[in-house]
Structure 1
Amino acid sequence: MPPTTTTYGTITASGTCTSSRAKHMRRPWPELVSLSSFSLPISYGDAKARIKLNLSYFRVNYVILMLTIVFLTLLWHPTSMIVFLITFIFWWFFYLFNDNPVVVFNKTVDDNVVLGVLSFVTVVSLVLTHVGVNVLVGLIIGVVVVGVHSAFRRTEDLGFGGVEEEENGLLSVVGSQPLRPTSGYNRI
């Protein structure tokens, strides 16, 4: 559905453009590693909620961190490093710094599908260069680092935007002001 133009600007008919763009934002690294933002989770449920929110918010940062860890495991394998750098170019153009959705045969491809395909192609291409153990070790280290970080990183200070909050179910009416009519009647 094409955007609707009003006197106030352009309003998109669906929220996917805004949320897709928000998901592809690399957050500032000091925000990711701020020591004041770390604390022990209260419970397993709290840790699980933190992991979910942090994975969503720092998505691009975590992908860059994982790719860096895998790259470091390939330092003594020059052929694999070349293959990795070639796949990194695809990561660069299709995921890390692409603000527009990927379109194949006039159909928009979901961000999670792009992430999955790029991950699969990277792992398979590196395994074919006979560094399967190195890739596996790098992925395990990366998952542990990202998992520990996302479990211990508090989420109260994350700056979620309105669309992301609506999509993740983060909007709450608890503690909010009651709606007051600005005129003589309310539209129901």
Structure 2
Amino acid sequence: MSSTTETLSNFKEAALTIMSTRHPWTEFLSISSLSLPSSLSQATTRIGINLTRFLFNYSFILLFILLLSLVYHPLAILLLLIAFAGWYFLFFTRESDESLTLFNLISLDDRVIVVALVIFSLVVVAVTGVWLNVLVSVVIAAAVVCLHGALRTTDVGGLDDYESPYGPMLNEASAGSYSPV
């Protein structure tokens, strides 16, 4: 298979993977599915489940907020789009190596690519002088995503019954009482 065909195939496969987490905006923004979580444990569980379920929608929100913050910086938008394309094509669409262990998550070749992409991204942000815009937009987007993720119920197929990944640490009932010694 030629390099161009392989690249297009990788692009299509990655796009299908991302699109598989896409849900209709009407479902995502449904007011009837919003409610306050009963505990911090339930809020963290909801955030984790909703991040997985609505990854495409949340990514779109992040990119939209970032774009709004850079609307008066067209050079920064262009260079960040190039950086994004580099991340997408050189890192996120790569073939995964099944032999990697937990402590060796990225192969040596991928580490070189990641370091180069991080350096390029940081240089773009530093040279264009939009680091504060990027930082503020990422913080705002993270707050919006966490707020939506915590408020949106996950009662589809019994997902609200999952245990928090933090277990009893966040369970108010397990705090116990203190008694004098």
Category of TM-score, reference length = shorter chain: 0.5 to 0.7
Question: 77, 84, 87: which one pairs with 2:80?
Answer: 84
Q: Between Structure 1 and Structure 2, how many residues are aligned?
A: 133
Structure 1, unaligned runs of 5 or more: 1-19, 169-188
**In structure 2, distance between residues paired with 1:33 and 1:23:** 18
Partner of 1:48: 44
Aligned partner of 1:62 in structure 2 is 58
Specify the alignment match of 1:103 in structure 2: 95
The residue aligned with 1:134 is 133
Q: What is the rounded CA distance, in whole Å, between the counterparts of 1:151 and 1:27 in structure 2?
A: 17
- Cα distance in 1 for residues equivalent to 2:56 and 2:34: 20
Relative to its length, the structure with more strand (as a share) is 1
Q: Secondary structure at the match of 1:63?
A: helix
Q: How far 1:126 sits from its partner (Å)? A: 2.5
- Alpha-carbon distance in structure 1 between the residues aligned to 2:157 and 2:69: 31
Cα offset, 1:85, TM superposition: 2.5
Higher-RCO chain (CA-CA 8 Å, sequence separation at least 6):
2
Contact 1:62/1:146, CA 8 A, preserved across alignment: yes
Higher helix share: 2
Q: CA RMSD in A?
A: 3.8
Is the contact between residue 23 and residue 59 of structure 1 (CA under 8 Å) also seen in structure 2?
Answer: no
Name the counterpart of 2:26. Answer: 30
Q: Displacement, 1:141? A: 0.6
* Percent pairwise identity: 34
- Quick one: which amino acid aligns to residue 133 of structure 2? N
Q: Normalising by structure 1, what TM-score?
A: 0.57
